[in-house]
Amino acid sequence: MSLLINPINIEDIKSNEYLLVGLHSFSHSINHILTMDELLALIKTNNKVFLLINHLIDNEKLELLNNILNTLSQKNLYGLLFEDYAVLNLTLKHNYQINLYLASKNSITSSSLINHSDSLILGALVSNDLSLEELILLLNNTRKKTLIHAYGYQLIYYSKRPVISNYQKTFHLPQSKNYEIKRKDNCYSLIEEKGYSYLYSDKIFNSINYLNELPADFYLINSYLVDEDIFNRDLEVFRQQLTCELDDHYSLYQLVNPNYYKVKHHE
């Protein structure tokens, strides 16, 4: 069991921890979205780096994606988490040597899917949209490596529509920044970037109280949109929990968004 961290400051990562970063044009919803040169420099000195490629990939970007995979083949990248099956197909087609992990948002929901995935795939980032019982069952039944979302704002809407710009244009509103949408006293961060729109959960998802029940190989801690002080405080709690140094008072944290781990499947 290890922490996989997308930190606020890369230098804060400890030697026994894994680092999650993104790549320009192919990643969203994390900090540290790097250029290819920056990524290559990073993995030269750090052999515990996961790369997240979580954009759905337009046809026009396939050539660039192929070049990236070619460059990363046989490099010192610990793992590549991917959303779009184009990554897997190109890797298979060209026999690239990359450690792949499934990370299709929302759809990694059964141990069968992970266990029967291509042999190139070493594991999967499991969806959060499972009940606690389902998640425990999946983790116990999975024979490949498992990663779970343990901390951070959760992406709940991903669109190719510039929804803020469209509203501003319709009603002639001035440009601003730091957008949120609000309903029933809950505020959700809404970010528009390069024509895409992303909406995040109102609360930080935090599974600290459940870690002992969730036998995953990696716990993903994502600092994206989290205030630095809060993130550093909470990261320390996770570190202590993994080393069994957690004091009782941390059980007072009630940080799990109540809608997680108990979603209803049918009405």
Partner 1 sequence: MNKVELLSPAGSLEKIKWAIHYGADAIYIGGEMFSLRANAINFKLEEIEEAVMLCHAHNVKLYVALNIVFHDQDVKELDEYLLALAKIKIDAIIISDVYAIKRARELIPEIDVHVSTQASILNREAALYYQSLGATRVVLAREASLNTIKDIIDHTNLEVEVFIHGAMCSSFSGRCTLSNNMTNRDANHGGCSQVCRFDFELLADKKNITAEYPFSLAAKDLMMAEYINELIAAGVHSLKIEGRMRSIYYIAMVVGTYRKIIDYYLSNDDLIRLQRCANREAVPQFLKSIPDEQAAYYNGRMEISNQDFLGIILDYDPKTQLMKIEERNAFEIGTAVTIFSAKNKPFDFIINELLDEDLNPITRANHPHQIIYIKTPKPVQKRDIMHLKIT
Q: Which of 87, 72, 2 is nearest to 42 (CA)?
A: 72
Q: What single-letter DSSP state applies at residue 107?
A: T
Restricted to residues 152-171, the positions that interact with partner 1 (CB under 8 A) are: 154-167, 169-171
- Told to check if 22 binds partner 1 by CB under 8 A, we report no
From the CB of 264, what's the least distance to partner 1, in Å? 5
Q: Which is nearer to partner 1, 146 or 241 (CB)?
A: 146
Nearer to partner 1, 1 or 92 (CB): 92
> In whole angstroms, what is the distance from residue 263 CA to residue 267 CA?
11
Closest to partner 1 by CB, 62 vs 242, is 62
Site membership for partner 1, residue 85 (CB under 8 A): yes
With vertex at residue 35, the alpha carbon angle to CA 41 and CA 86, rounded to the nearest 5 degrees, is 110
User: Which of these segments, 4-12, 28-36, 39-47, 58-66, binds partner 1 (CB under 8 A)?
Assistant: 58-66
Closest distance between partner 1 and the C-beta of residue 203, in Å? 9
CB of 244 to partner 1, least distance (A): 29
Spatial distance between the Cα atoms of 221 and 27, rounded to a whole number of angstroms: 16
The answer to whether the beta carbons of residues 142 and 111 sit under 8 Å apart is yes
Residues 199-258 that bind partner 1 (CB under 8 A): 199, 201-202, 257
- Tell me if 25 contacts partner 1 by CB under 8 A: no
Which residues from 64-83 bind partner 1, rule CB under 8 A? 65
**8 Å CB contact between 257 and 201:** yes
- Residue 259 interacts with partner 1 (CB under 8 A): yes or no: yes
Shortest spacing between CB 158 and partner 1, in angstroms: 5
**DSSP helix/strand/coil, 209:** helix
CA distances to 14, 58, 128, 243 from 136, rounded to whole Å, are 28, 35, 12, 21
One residue of 137, 211, 242, 246 binding partner 1 per CB under 8 A: 137
Helix (H) or strand (E) holding 101: strand 100-102
